[in-house]
Amino acid sequence: MKILLFANTDWYLYNFRRSLALALKAAGHQVLLVSPPGLYGARLQALGLEWRPAPMERLSLNPWREFRLLVWLIRLVRREDVALVHGFTIKCAVYGSLAARLAGGRNRVSAVAGLGYVFTSRSLKARLLRPVVRRVLRIALGGRRSRLILQNPDDAAMFREAQLIDSRQVRLIPGSGVDTERFLPAEKPPAGDTFRVVLPARLLWDKGVGELVEAARLLKDRNVPVSLLLAGEPDAGNPAAVPVEQLQAWQQAGLIEWLGNVDDMPALFRSVNAIALPTYYGEGLPKSLIEAAACSLPLVTTDQPGCREVVTHEIDGLLVPPRDANALADAIERLASDPALCVRLGHAARRKALAEFDERIVIERTMAVYDELIEDS
């Protein structure tokens, strides 16, 4: 059958759903990838995948522009005779699902990784949008030929309590998975006396970037030999993006090393001693944490939905409260001063990644959802 994978960036499709698309193609399905244009569309095409640019602006609230996007999607689904539409993140899940319904009742899978800006932001704009988004979600995600994939039990409870969808249509699948044969532990710890910690993420305030910088100040005052790295770029389409000028100022002050976008993440993880993700909110199931876990790195993150599905405190990582730079600094200092603890936590993290987060498990369970829908059609 023909399956359409719809996301809000081509970067997301390449980094999070590339393996799913290739597995579907290998299984004999036709796969169509759709997203706004970007630098990664050509990379997807170079892999032999079909990718199309969508006339979509992620944060647009212009009714006419949004209506045209929906019409474009409906026409695409009809013209390509798509049997199943799988949308990722709230906006794409809603639009993809609506287009599939209006194009003749096609099968629909919606994957929501975390609650998104509308549900997590404290801004007036987000609070005003929530009731509208809830109503649209009920319309878009309902129906016999629909399934909702969530990444952690907290999100499942939120959807259940808000009565957004029949709980019998919800499937829990832990993230997009990690290639445990590519993300491997380093043969030996990084050379040097400095303990290297990386925060790999879109550089948003919500990811705890400010807290990591403040932790760097505290550790510097304590004379702890730690080097803190930021791997990623600010997300220009997100109101919570950290300004480039601020990142440059922190780097010039010697508080952090900003690496920008990193293509070879396995190599980066092999060059550091630990990972920190001090996010404020639920994360679905953070890709960076499971990739670092597969590399046997000790994990420091916050006790938030999604993060605590990856990290069990003192077992395979350390959990700290969100927005608490002191606790974050204490956790990093503890790891820097205890190599044996790092080894123990890292080994446990790798075991968990192999058992629960290997991408082959995630792909198999996702394809099982597709089969379930087709059989019921």
pLDDT of residue 116: 61
Give the pLDDT confidence score for residue 17 in this predicted structure. 96
In the predicted structure, residue 158 carries a pLDDT above the cut 80: no
Higher per-residue confidence, 231 vs 141: 231
Range scoring the smallest mean pLDDT among 30-39, 41-50, 136-145, 268-277? 136-145
pTM for this model (two decimals): 0.89
pLDDT band at 117 (very low <50, low <70, confident <90, very high): low
SS3 for the chain, per residue?
CEEEEECCCHHHHHHHCHHHHHHHHHCCCEEEEEECCCCCHHHHHHCCCEEEECCCCCCCCCHHHHHHHHHHHHHHHHHCCCCEEEEECHHHHHHHHHHHHHCCCCEEEEEECCCHHHHHCCCHHHHHHHHHHHHHHHHHHCCCCEEEEECCHHHHHHHHHCCCCCHHHEEECCCCCECCCCCCCCCCCCCCCCEEEEEECCCEHHHCHHHHHHHHHHHHHCCCCEEEEEECCCCCCCCCECCHHHHHHHHHCCCCEEEECCCCHHHHHHCCCEEEECCCCCCCCCHHHHHHHHCCCCEEEECCCCHHHHCCECCCEEEECCCCHHHHHHHHHHHHCCHHHHHHHHHHHHHHHHHHHEHHHHHHHHHHHHHHHHHHC
Residue 147's pLDDT band (boundaries 50, 70, 90)? very high
What average pLDDT does the segment 314-325 reach? 97
Q: Find the mean pLDDT for residues 250-273.
A: 96
Per-residue pLDDT at 114: 56
Taking residues 195-205, what's their average pLDDT? 96
* Mean pLDDT to the nearest integer, 185-201: 93
pLDDT at 131 over 60: yes
φ/ψ (deg, to 5) at 207: -80, 0
Distance of CA 38 to the CA centre of its chain: 18
Distances, alpha carbon 349 to alpha carbons 50, 54, 253, 363, in Å? 35, 38, 33, 21
Whether the Cβ atoms of residue 178 and residue 288 lie closer than 8 Å to each other: no
Question: In order of start, what are the domains of the chain with their CATH numbers?
Answer: 2-177+358-376 (3.40.50.2000), 195-357 (3.40.50.2000)
pLDDT band at residue 178 under the 50/70/90 scheme: very high
85 and 34 Cβ atoms separated by less than 8 Å: no
Strand partners, 147: 109
- pLDDT value of position 215: 98
- The whole-number pLDDT of residue 7 equals 96
Q: Which of 31-40, 167-176, 317-326 shows the lowest per-residue confidence on average (mean pLDDT)?
A: 167-176
- Note the pLDDT of residue 165: 79
**Mean pLDDT over residues 51-78, rounded?**
90
Q: Rounded mean pLDDT of 222-235?
A: 95
On the question of pLDDT at 58 being above 80, the answer is no
The residue among 282 and 293 whose pLDDT is bigger is 293
Q: What are the strands of the beta sheet with 299-302, ordered from one edge?
A: 257-260, 226-231, 195-200, 274-277, 299-302, 317-320
Residue 42 has pLDDT above 90, yes or no: yes
Higher pLDDT, 160 or 234: 234
For residue 120, name the pLDDT band (cuts at 50, 70, 90): low
Q: Is the per-residue pLDDT at 115 higher than 70?
A: no
Identify the pLDDT of residue 274. 98
> Does residue 287 have a pLDDT over 90?
yes
The residue written with tokens 């829990």 in the block is 172
What digits encode the pLDDT tens for the residues 295-317? Answer: 999 999 999 989 999 999 999 99
pLDDT of 60 over the 80 cut: no
The pLDDT of residue 346 is above 90 = yes
Q: How much is the pLDDT for 377?
A: 66
Query: How is residue 12 written in tokens?
Result: 């997301």
CA-to-CA distance for 152 and 354, rounded, in angstroms? 18
State the Cα–Cα distance between residues 41 and 50, nearest whole angstrom.
Answer: 9
The percent of residues above 70 in pLDDT, for the chain, comes to 97
